[in-house]
Structure 1
Amino acid sequence: YGKRMEAHAGPAPTVRDRLFSSYGLLRDPEKERPVIEFYRKYHRAAAESIVALAGSIKEALARPLVCGTFYGYLLEVPRIHEAGHLAPDVVLDSPHIDLLAGPYSYQSTNDPASERWESDLYDGADNWLGRARGVGGDGAFRLMLESLRRRGKLYASEIDPSTYLDEVDGWRGIGGSGSKTAKGSVQILQRDVGKVFAEGVAGWLYDFGPLHGVPTGWYGSPELIESVKPIMDLMRRRRELDLSPAAKTAMIVDHRCSFVTQHWLADRPWEGQGIRYTDLFNHWFLNSQNRALQRLGAPVDYLHHFDFEDLDAQNYRLILFPNAFTMTSTELDSLRSKLAGSGATVVWYYAPGLLSDRTANLESMTALTGFKFSELLKPGPLMITCEQRSGDAVQLPLSFGVKSAQNYRPRFSVDDRDIEVLGHWTDAPKRVAFAKREMDGWTSIFVGTAPVPSRWLRRLASHAGVPLWSSSADVVCGTRSTAMICAQSDGQRILTLPTPMVSAGGGDPMREHRLDLKFGDVQLFIADEDARR
């Protein structure tokens, strides 16, 4: 931390001030304002440096060129308070930055019996949340892709799974489950390259193979090359297609959460996470929540909070706010105004709107969500026991939440009467931690912890009017003209698309496709222009 940075961000707060928060998992805005402001200025200075360098490059070369940077990760960011990308608006709004890039999900398993590079995630009730990498993994991106698209910024996915060609221990397992077989390597590449196709983005194969004693590289076998050739043909066809988004579900993420939450070192030894150096909120409310959300069976858009507009409230039917803990009164009023009469269903997590610039206020949570709250005085687990109802077509999880032996504060409960109770705090069965109520033309849902499992998300989405493309909890992504499904179970399912599409394997253009798939199977679809005409 040098003098130049100090000139921009001011003197660094003491180690104690940075590592310890006075309000449990949160920082008190009044007592800890210097720390909060330091982080804001520190990250803004870093982002401004990136933009300045990009501007210098374009000025020096004095010719048209594409300039990009690895920036904008909000998912899976170790050491986020110091190393996070926490001034995304600076980079996104810069005319000097044309492209943002990043490797896809690296989230590793929290199952102690599994290998390091396995990536199956489980919550505190042992609900399977999903798999990040490997056969059947979602291969999810770590940036807010819809925010990039709205600014005309290109996203390039760094595709870097190891394959069966690497027989040396070390990086061999980075491909994830199944990557050590030829069939598994083919499925993983089809998923990774297929996701680039279906999401309307760019990508490259980052081949570490030659550095690890694989002369042909990780992707150099005829079998692997042939497996992606058909996808490259689809890539060329998509230039003529409408690649605008088709999602009716959105996750709205606020980078400022990291300014007002407990430092990542406070969770040492990161019990139950499976990955070190990450804080509770990034790990459970974003990373692990995304594993379940990727298995909604329908596309999901990811936006920065500053990009949420009036039309978004009208367009999206299910909107998740996993970390909207801090906002000004003006922002709160604006958000409520956007939601009024929208017909949307909004899921608020943990402490929505609690923290302003100056104080922590339960009345602000009420003004935002419509629920009356009280604070639990006793620290406890971030676990919810769900209400069980007869008549549900799918058995919902009995409980869910953070996998940890620690007790946390603050926690909040809903005190209203005119609500639908969905769950209680596990250690306080009379305190409501999961609830739903109707508002002025929209539906408000409060959930006191994360991650919400995919079966609950599918139920909430269905009730909200979200068209679930797959009849199963599969990984599904796509645009108005492209789609990909990665099966999460064996058996038949129905895939219902927004427009008639042709399977990459051939056939007639249809909206409804009946598929018999095995776990990890990948199928791609593309709109048929002849049928459209």
Structure 2
Amino acid sequence: MDGLVPCLTSKVAEYNGRPALFINDKPAAAAMVFVEPKYVRSFAEAGLHIYNPDLSFTDWWLGVDEYDMSAVDARLQDYIAGDPDILLIPRIAMGYAEAKWWREKFPDEIAIARSIDTGARVDRFGEGASHRGSGHSFASKIWLKEAEKAIRAIVEHIEGSDYAGHVAGYHIGGGITTEWFSWNAYHFDLCEDYSLMMGEYFRAWLANRYPNDDALREAWQDDVVLLATAMPPEPARMVGYDGGYLRDDRRAVDYLECHSDAIVSALRELTSAAKESCGRKKVVGVFFGYAWPHRNNANPARTGHVMMKKVFSLPDVDFIISPYHYDNRALGGYNGPQSLPDAIAANGKLYVSEIDTITSVIYEQERKRRIHHFGPMPKSVRESVEILARDFAAAAHLRAGYWWMDVLQRGAFDNPEIMMGIAEFRRIEDELFAMPWKSAAEVAVVFSPESCLHQRLLNSMPHWYLSVLRQWGLARMGLPFETVLIDDLLEGKTKSYRLLIFPNCYYLSDNNRRLLRRILENRRISALWFHAPGYLSDTGKGVDYCSELTGIKLREAGGSVKTASFLRSSDPMLKDIRGGVRFGIGVDQWEIDRLSVPGRSPLAPDIEPVIVADDDNAQVFARLEGLGLPGLVCNRSMGRVDVFSLVPAPPWRFLRNLAAECGAHVWCKSGDVIYADNRFVALHATTKGQKRIMFPYKVDVVDLRTGERFGEGLDFIEFEAAKGETKIFGIRQS
């Protein structure tokens, strides 16, 4: 920036093929920072000028209609003092701003949690909780009214201040850690919300869904329930302890959806209040859409994030943020978003990646000990810079925004070599941002939020079917991939892919099941199906639905199973895979544990229901260990492929071979992490050795980090890489 031009307006609009941030109607790379004010000058020297100041523990909301903005002014002025060109998007943390007085003033407006084991009420706040927030009920009309007034008060104050020209937008937080989670999401022995307000909200929600008592009774299979008196399910029933993993308990499903609706309704009201209070002239954003589980966040139906499509399409939300996944993010690992950037972009929003990487600076502070909430840390500045290069490439190939986050607020980036790396990435960002963007993904994962409602909560199967699949499998198959919402796919709002992967597609209405099958067949799109696709419907449940959806005759089988092993075969789908290689739940458990955040969930459950192939036309590639039944099968027909696997997380070589058979271009075959679009390709080396990147067309190649030119009209390049090294190559079609 050449001197500050006051930020009069900001917006998100399409630019060069992807939603982008605009400042005063000019496109601007959303390269941002979350650090304390004392580090601002270093980032300004590296070319970064947009900040997300955290106001979570700034005392400004002192009581009902009582505000003192002096602390807000002082904190924001501290940032401005470090950089005259600074732009701020302050994080306004509702649920924390009022934490010191809300429970005492409004003791009856608190979310009530109950024990899953005993059903008894359990109160955990302050030091006894996994948060320091107010713990208000999201269904509290009093809280929502007061919070809306408070949002208007702080935004109007900032907009009327003498530093308003430094403010580019507002980040509205809510719930635990400001991420719009339910307050007890991390307390695995509790369920919420059993407050009177939530009960009233639930009954009003039911009245909008069901026309009369008879309709409710039929849905719930309850002969005496009434719309006027219906209550949330008991905690054990809400979790699903009294049934199978896939459930059609409509009462529990309705409540979980309703609870998410209460969170999203509050989010909508507060973001709209912020938008209105700045005259609709500046961007507003939120955390949301955390789809990929890790061990303290097993299911978005529990956290309150299940209504992703609704949030992604809210008119007063411009950008959506999430951290990247906490498992396998160390050196040689993968940066994969917790939310769904491609679905967010498809709805016209800017995705922002929160890069909260722990660096060697913290490693040294901790005297080389591992921090409980994070995986292995980089042990040197070189390792830190290479991981940050990977993190930058992960955001850049999505043409997403990002912010470098000092998550522990202990100076994670306070090292000259690390800051030189960040300056290097900022330079590359400017070069890439000016170029038209086009996705290079020919493979997509299809995520079904509605199916999350039908899974037993606090079960670790989603961890295996979703996160282990992506963080250890898809990450290494050698080509970029996207993640889309199943609703967007059914509505024709996604691009055309060669292969779609369905890791959690358990629930589809009869109409949508048939529509999805038609889409796949008519467009000649191949599919990889996991576990029990389409098992649940609006008219019933059963394996016949799975057969209709997959095009493979399937049946239910008895017994318990976790794993499968590959057969010996010369089929190209099994290239480089030895007979007897195992995959599934519990395989490589030690390595997964070592590279993951710790958690309490049981990590090796039996798979249920057990669905196996019973189709003479399907080729068997793997059999279930202990049962000997077909566990992974393939049906090639009409120019496309259907693959069904009961067992999760097949190895990356199989995923690579499948993608190649479906016609997707494989950029790298050596199991390294690849991020690519039409402008660049990045390789993060999972192992040391010779690497080869193959291009889908002839390209001119330059190393964007060093400036070295590899040549023109190239089909491939080869180079040596150390484990964890990140190479970023600019490419231009010859």
**Secondary structure in 2 aligned to 1:294?**
helix
1:136-174 deviation line (CA, Å, top 9, x unaligned): 111211111211121221111111222222233377587
Structure having greater relative contact order (Cα 8 Å, sep ≥ 6): 1
Q: Is the 8 A contact 2:543 2:611 kept in 1?
A: no
Candidates 318, 321, 339, aligned match of 2:502: 321
How far residue 312 of structure 1 moved from its aligned partner, in angstroms, is 8.1
CA pair 399-208 structure 1, distance change in 2 beyond 3 A: closer
How far residue 314 of structure 1 moved from its aligned partner, in angstroms, is 7.9
Residue in structure 1 matched with residue 199 of structure 2 by the alignment: 6
Counterpart CA distance in 2 for 1:388 and 1:90 is 47
Q: Is the 8 A contact 1:98 1:153 kept in 2?
A: yes
**Secondary structure in 2 aligned to 1:336?**
helix
Residue in structure 2 matched with residue 18 of structure 1 by the alignment: 238
Residue in structure 2 matched with residue 49 of structure 1 by the alignment: 266
Residue in structure 1 matched with residue 460 of structure 2 by the alignment: 280
Between 479-488 and 313-322, report the one with greater CA deviation.
313-322
Residue in structure 2 matched with residue 127 of structure 1 by the alignment: none
> What TM-score comes out, normalization by structure 1 length?
0.85
Amino acid at match of 1:85: H
Q: Is the 8 A contact 2:633 2:643 kept in 1?
A: yes
Q: CA RMSD in A?
A: 2.3
Residue in structure 1 matched with residue 303 of structure 2 by the alignment: 83
**Secondary structure in 1 aligned to 2:536?**
coil
Amino acid at match of 1:388: R
Amino acid at match of 1:398: V
| Amino-acid identity (%) | 23
**Secondary structure in 2 aligned to 1:224?**
helix
Counterpart CA distance in 1 for 2:270 and 2:694 is 46
CA pair 483-58 structure 1, distance change in 2 beyond 3 A: same
Candidates 139, 145, 158, aligned match of 2:335: 139
Alignment of 1:360-379 (within 5 A): 360-378=541-559
Candidates 504, 507, 512, aligned match of 2:716: 512
Residue in structure 1 matched with residue 583 of structure 2 by the alignment: 400
Does structure 1 residue 203 correspond to structure 2 residue 407? no
Amino acid at match of 2:365: V
Q: Is the 8 A contact 1:173 1:180 kept in 2?
A: no
Alignment of 1:110-259 (within 5 A): 132-166=328-362, 167-169=364-366, 176-177=375-376, 179-208=378-407, 211-212=409-410, 217-259=411-453
Counterpart CA distance in 1 for 2:468 and 2:348 is 29
1:449-471 deviation line (CA, Å, top 9, x unaligned): 20111111111112111110113
Counterpart CA distance in 2 for 1:250 and 1:305 is 11
Alignment of 1:464-475 (within 5 A): 464-475=662-673
Q: Is the 8 A contact 1:350 1:447 kept in 2?
A: yes
Amino acid at match of 2:254: E
Counterpart CA distance in 1 for 2:452 and 2:351 is 24
Counterpart CA distance in 2 for 1:168 and 1:313 is 46
Counterpart CA distance in 2 for 1:97 and 1:218 is 30
Candidates 542, 563, 567, aligned match of 1:383: 563
Amino acid at match of 2:676: G
| Unaligned runs of at least 5 residues, structure 1 | 108-131, 265-278
1:317-350 deviation line (CA, Å, top 9, x unaligned): 2210001111101101110110114332201100
Counterpart CA distance in 2 for 1:64 and 1:187 is 38
How far residue 98 of structure 1 moved from its aligned partner, in angstroms, is 0.7
Counterpart CA distance in 2 for 1:329 and 1:390 is 38
Alignment of 1:104-115 (within 5 A): 104-107=324-327
Residue in structure 1 matched with residue 517 of structure 2 by the alignment: 336
Counterpart CA distance in 2 for 1:346 and 1:313 is 15
CA pair 147-511 structure 1, distance change in 2 beyond 3 A: farther
Q: Is the 8 A contact 1:310 1:338 kept in 2?
A: no
Counterpart CA distance in 1 for 2:395 and 2:426 is 10
Residue in structure 1 matched with residue 485 of structure 2 by the alignment: 304
Counterpart CA distance in 1 for 2:329 and 2:315 is 34
Amino acid at match of 2:542: N
CA pair 233-493 structure 1, distance change in 2 beyond 3 A: same
How far residue 526 of structure 1 moved from its aligned partner, in angstroms, is 2.3
Residue in structure 1 matched with residue 289 of structure 2 by the alignment: 72
Amino acid at match of 1:153: K
Counterpart CA distance in 1 for 2:492 and 2:257 is 29
How far residue 231 of structure 1 moved from its aligned partner, in angstroms, is 1.7
Q: Is the 8 A contact 2:631 2:645 kept in 1?
A: yes
1:367-424 deviation line (CA, Å, top 9, x unaligned): 111122221123x122112211147641346121111664443201111111111112
Residue in structure 2 matched with residue 102 of structure 1 by the alignment: 322
1:238-269 deviation line (CA, Å, top 9, x unaligned): 222122211011100101222111120xxxxx
How far residue 84 of structure 1 moved from its aligned partner, in angstroms, is 4.0
Counterpart CA distance in 2 for 1:312 and 1:54 is 25
Alignment of 1:498-509 (within 5 A): 498=696, 500=699, 501-504=701-704, 505=706, 506-507=708-709, 508-509=711-712
Counterpart CA distance in 1 for 2:673 and 2:435 is 22
Residue in structure 1 matched with residue 100 of structure 2 by the alignment: none
Counterpart CA distance in 1 for 2:661 and 2:494 is 16
How far residue 23 of structure 1 moved from its aligned partner, in angstroms, is 4.6
Counterpart CA distance in 1 for 2:336 and 2:716 is 25
Counterpart CA distance in 2 for 1:63 and 1:409 is 50
Amino acid at match of 1:433: G
> What TM-score comes out, normalization by structure 2 length?
0.63
**Secondary structure in 2 aligned to 1:54?**
helix
Counterpart CA distance in 2 for 1:177 and 1:256 is 34
1:41-64 deviation line (CA, Å, top 9, x unaligned): 221221122122111111122141
CA pair 21-262 structure 1, distance change in 2 beyond 3 A: same
Q: Is the 8 A contact 1:342 1:441 kept in 2?
A: no
How far residue 195 of structure 1 moved from its aligned partner, in angstroms, is 2.2
CA pair 151-310 structure 1, distance change in 2 beyond 3 A: closer
How far residue 439 of structure 1 moved from its aligned partner, in angstroms, is 3.8
CA pair 208-146 structure 1, distance change in 2 beyond 3 A: closer
**Secondary structure in 2 aligned to 1:469?**
coil
Residue in structure 1 matched with residue 276 of structure 2 by the alignment: 59
Counterpart CA distance in 1 for 2:298 and 2:691 is 41
Question: How many residues are treated as equivalent by the alignment?
Answer: 482
**Secondary structure in 1 aligned to 2:329?**
coil
Amino acid at match of 1:394: D
Does structure 1 residue 433 correspond to structure 2 residue 631? yes
Does structure 1 residue 421 correspond to structure 2 residue 620? yes
Q: Is the 8 A contact 1:384 1:424 kept in 2?
A: yes
Amino acid at match of 1:344: I
Counterpart CA distance in 2 for 1:16 and 1:363 is 30
